[in-house]
Structure 1
Amino acid sequence: MTSTPQLPQQPSYKKYLVWLLPFIALVALILLMKASGSGQTQQAPTEVKKHLVNVMPIQWHQQYVQKYLIAGRAEAPQMAAIGFDLSGSVVNLLVDEGQQVIQGQILAELDTQRLMAQMTELSAIFNRANSDANLAKLSLKRVIELVDKNLESAQRLDETTESVNAANAFSDEILARKQSLQVEISKTKLRAPFDGSVVNRLVDKGAAVTAGQTIFTLQQNGQLEVRFALSADYANQLAIDQVVTVLSQSSPLLGKIKSIAQQRRLDTRTVDVIVSLTEPNRSILPGDLLNFAINSEVNSTGFWVPRKALVSSVRGLWSLFVVEAIDGELQLVAKLVELLHADDKKAFVRGALQDAELVVIEGVQRLVPGQKVLVAEGITTNSVAGLL
């Protein structure tokens, strides 16, 4: 019986070799990674950079000064609406709006034909009256001679004397009527009552006007005046000839108080104060609005801080960043305050603040509560050292 040939058996270590090689590769990779990392130096963690802030110590006040601006209107020293004293037809207009005039200058003229005809009539009557008066004087002279010769009665002398007086009176009456008519003729020429400029011209040439109708509006040249309406309390603090400052859009001007009204206006319940400007300024025209600053002391406790130090908060309140020492470091603390008064640069506030606290005065939009900060130079060492 023949036997079947058998294959030679493989060594047993080869079946473990399949698992050993990946394990050796993994160990080598781990050792390689450790070797590559051991050559790098360890860096110490960097500190958080602190923000540099500008601060100022605040001071407690028992009152503050509130500034009010009262608006007033610039006026010319004199403003007149002028017209003729009699009615008639305008035959000539010699000036127009915006022109400068001098006192006594003729501005307009009325038709004088009717008045000149009356003057001619009165002149003829006056001549006749003078003739009658001369004749009466001659008659009186003859009567006196006859009376001296007892050829005429005393009654006749008296009658002749009174005739002379009547003729003279009539002559004087006609002369007075001529003078009155001459005044009327002179009033047909409208003249400027003062040096100034024409603001308005309300009629045209050829228009029929009535007595008193406004033809021109004139304003006087010279230093302007400003009328302010103040309450009686503020007006009583002022005095005549007191020098004050009037604010315009271009620059402040000096003025002197010209008058203070002694009664209230019924519509506004205010007192008019007129300030005469003492400095010339061509940029200011009648009708411009100017301001008058009044300071009023208000009794209220609080602190003055820059306006740019305030941050809007909730319920109409504001916040301030105060520098305080916490755990040996300077940190920001937000404190709510109430705004009592503010002007262009600073504000008066009250709240949970203390005297001499350091308040951040600018750059508050980049800050948050609890932030660690450094104080900029300029604050005294004692102020910062007192916090630490």
Structure 2
Amino acid sequence: MTSSNQLPQQPSFKKYWIWLIPFIALLALVSLMKASGSGQTQVAPTDIKKPLVNVMPVQWHEQYVQKHLVVGRVEAPQTAEVGFDLSGSVVNIVVNEGQRVTQGQIMAELDTQRLNAQMTELSAILSRAKSDANLAKLSLKRVIELVDKKLESAQRLDEATESVNAANAFIDEVLARIQRLQVDISKTKLRAPFDGSVVSRLVDLGAVVATGQTLFTLQQNTQLEARFALSAAYADKLVVDQIVEVSSSSTQLLGKIKSIAQQRRVDTRTVDVIVSLTQPNLTILPGDLLNFEMKTSINAEGFWVPRKALVSGVRGLWSLFTVNATGNELQLQAKLVEMLHVDEEQAFVRGALKESDLLVSDGVHRLVPGQKVLLADAQTTNSVSGSL
């Protein structure tokens, strides 16, 4: 007998749903994977696309040209620190920094009041000296007349003659002092010693300057020069008046070797070579850097190859890819070479290459030895196919 408080037990399906839902999801995933795979077609290994490569023939050389780039500094042929030959107060400054001047142009002036006063004084002394000289001449004339009449002694004649000579000598002395003062007055105007430009101005208006004190730094810009420090081996290959080519970052210039030093610099153990720039160029200024390329022929057997055709190898060697015919197909072969010289775009190498090889010139980073390839150039492809 069942109690009235006890309910009949109902079957529960919750625990079955917990396992059924993951099972259904797994079946759906498997079905989707089969459906996606059934739409793809398998590609045969022989139908894989072969990469296109650019090739070039290599040529055998018995020597190569080694380029040595030397950097030099542009200099002005003349640089001077100019100032007054005498002391005084600066009353006028005519030029400023960066301004171009011509030879003889006034750059600054000193106060001349004291010198003008001295000139007035010397002019008065000269007038008095001339009067004394005229009086001495008149006295000499009277003494001569008295001596002729036996009224005066010969000694008095000698004294009168020397008085005239002394008066004339004093006139010459005063004239010399006036001439020296005129030179001093002319030097109160500072003039440019050559055509050039003002690099710096070191004093201002009203300053009192001493004798020889620098007022301006002046440099000549008419024909610039470049100084290059070369090793003795390179300097010996140059001669004075030889025409050479120098370059900056933006232009090429011609120059003529002006001088070659006959001694080494102690600090760098190099020889200075001065190149005079024969072509005027307003973009080149003193202090700029110029490049001078020296070329030397080196006797060595090998091949010139592009730098981008090289692949790093083992034990300091490099690898190149050449195209060889295998049956009716073209296959890559790696060849080890030794690098003798390298420049910006090419390298001179020697090794397992021969002159008839076709070298892969670029794109070697995506290639491997033994890979089948096609040639990008149709004419080259035909010529290679004809040689199979």
Scaled by the length of structure 1, the TM-score of the pair is 0.82
Q: Is the 8 A contact 1:74 1:288 kept in 2?
A: yes
The Cα of 1:369 is off from its aligned counterpart by 1.6
1:51-70 → structure 2 map (5 Å cutoff): 51-70=51-70
The Cα of 1:292 is off from its aligned counterpart by 0.9
Matched, 1:237 2:237: yes
The Cα of 1:93 is off from its aligned counterpart by 0.9
Cα distance in 2, alignment partners of residues 120 and 237 from structure 1: 66
C-alpha distance after superposition, 1:92-116 (max 9, x if no partner) = 1111001121111110112222222
Partner of 1:88: 88
1:120-131 → structure 2 map (5 Å cutoff): 120-131=120-131
Check 1:315–1:211 CA distance in 2 against 1; reply closer, same or farther (3 A cut).
farther
1:243-262 → structure 2 map (5 Å cutoff): 243-262=243-262
C-alpha distance after superposition, 1:264-319 (max 9, x if no partner) = 33333322222222222211111111111110122333221011212234555432
Check 1:322–1:139 CA distance in 2 against 1; reply closer, same or farther (3 A cut).
same
Cα distance in 1, alignment partners of residues 384 and 216 from structure 2: 72
SS of residue paired to 1:103: coil
Equivalent residue pairs, number? 346
Check 1:159–1:44 CA distance in 2 against 1; reply closer, same or farther (3 A cut).
closer
Q: Is the 8 A contact 1:60 1:301 kept in 2?
A: yes
Partner of 1:213: 213
Cα distance in 2, alignment partners of residues 348 and 307 from structure 1: 9
Larger Rg belongs to: 1
SS of residue paired to 2:47: coil
Partner of 1:308: 308
Q: Is the 8 A contact 1:56 1:379 kept in 2?
A: no
Cα distance in 2, alignment partners of residues 46 and 362 from structure 1: 25
Matched, 1:335 2:335: yes
Check 1:232–1:318 CA distance in 2 against 1; reply closer, same or farther (3 A cut).
same
Partner of 2:294: 294
Matched, 1:379 2:380: yes
1:29-68 → structure 2 map (5 Å cutoff): 47-68=47-68
Kindly provide the amino acid, as one letter, of the partner of residue 373 in structure 1: V
RMSD: 2.3
Partner of 2:32: none
Cα distance in 2, alignment partners of residues 383 and 295 from structure 1: 37
Unaligned ranges ≥5, structure 1 = 1-42
Cα distance in 2, alignment partners of residues 371 and 383 from structure 1: 17
Cα distance in 2, alignment partners of residues 46 and 307 from structure 1: 33
Scaled by the length of structure 2, the TM-score of the pair is 0.82
The Cα of 1:154 is off from its aligned counterpart by 1.0
C-alpha distance after superposition, 1:166-218 (max 9, x if no partner) = 11101101110111111111111100112221111111112222222211111
SS of residue paired to 1:379: helix
Unaligned ranges ≥5, structure 2 = 1-42
